[in-house]
Amino acid sequence: MRLIALFLCGVSALAAQTFDVIHKKPFWPDGRGRVEINEEAIAFEARDKESSRRWTYTDIQHFDRISTKEFVILSYEDEKWKLGRDRTFHFVLTSGELTDDVMQAVARRLGKPVTERVIGEVAAPRYELPAKHLHSFGGCEGRLLFTDDAVFYSTEEAKDAREWQFARDVQAVSSIDPYQIEFRVFENNRREFSRSRVYKFALKQPLDPTFYRDLKLKLYDLEQRVAR
């Protein structure tokens, strides 16, 4: 398994960002409080003090930006009523926004793969394909867009949109025929108790074999750099 930590030099420190939030709790009343994100940690100050938490970046397994108003932290804390499964904390912002700059700073401090569902305008993609993301039941339609550094899935189903950085998030890519492609990415997969997940796409146009070969070589080259 290939996991690349990104170390960016010359990046300015993350100034503290504070947001009023709702803490979503399945099967329990939601909580309220404030989240502060800074260079050292992410802290939740709850009105119910027993629910307050502070996570240094090494205490966070995974970070999922669902939208500019919603994110999930996967901690290492046991969820006792779920027989010890690692606990997630789901927050909805009622003030401010989790901007691209803040998200990039969080990803930098984590130094590990993240889930990015906020897809803006992708400038001048090198290659794109109309596609359907195949879910367990049904799917959603959109477009796969490739740049030199990443692949994006843009769809009207906002929570299904994704950005995967080749050097950080993508573990492998495969295609068994010109009208299908799969990406194995580093993402918390609670259903399968795994740290990776496979995204399968049905392609509406055939995948160019030369582009696919170059993509495989790119990922191989990135893996070899890590091995060295």
The residue ranges of every structural domain in the chain are: 17-116, 127-227
Average pLDDT of the residues in 178-190: 89
3-state helix, strand, coil in the chain (%, to 5): 20, 45, 35
Which tens digits make up the pLDDT trace of 72-91? 999 999 877 666 688 999 99
pLDDT of 17 strictly over 70: yes
| Confidence at residue 14, expressed as pLDDT on a 0 to 100 scale | 83
| Confidence at residue 193, expressed as pLDDT on a 0 to 100 scale | 56
| Confidence at residue 195, expressed as pLDDT on a 0 to 100 scale | 77
| Interatomic CA distance for residues 160 and 196, integer angstroms | 16
Same fold, 17-116 and 127-227: yes
Contacts of 8 (CB under 8 A, 6+ apart): 108
Average pLDDT of the residues in 155-169: 95
Which tens digits make up the pLDDT trace of 28-38? 899 999 999 99
| Among 2, 47, 40, CA closest to 21 | 47
| Among 91, 105, 99, CA closest to 15 | 105
pLDDT of 167 strictly over 90: yes
3-class state of residue 205 by DSSP: coil
Query: For the stretch 83-93, what's the b/e string if a residue is b when 16 or more beta carbons lie within 10 angstroms of its beta carbon?
Result: eeebbbbbbbb
More confident residue, 50 or 189: 50
CATH number at 17-116: 2.30.29.30
What length does the chain have?
Answer: 228
Number of neighbouring beta carbons within 10 Å of residue 194: 12
pLDDT of 132 strictly over 50: yes
Average pLDDT of the residues in 214-222: 93
| Confidence at residue 188, expressed as pLDDT on a 0 to 100 scale | 75
Average pLDDT, the chain: 90
pLDDT of 140 strictly over 50: yes
pLDDT-derived band at 95, boundaries 50, 70, 90: very high
pLDDT-derived band at 182, boundaries 50, 70, 90: very high
Contacts of 184 (CB under 8 A, 6+ apart): 170, 171, 172, 173, 174, 196, 197, 198
Of the candidate CATH numbers 3.30.565.10, 2.30.29.30, 2.60.120.330, 3.30.70.3340, the domain formed by 127-227 belongs to 2.30.29.30
More confident residue, 80 or 211: 211
| Confidence at residue 81, expressed as pLDDT on a 0 to 100 scale | 60
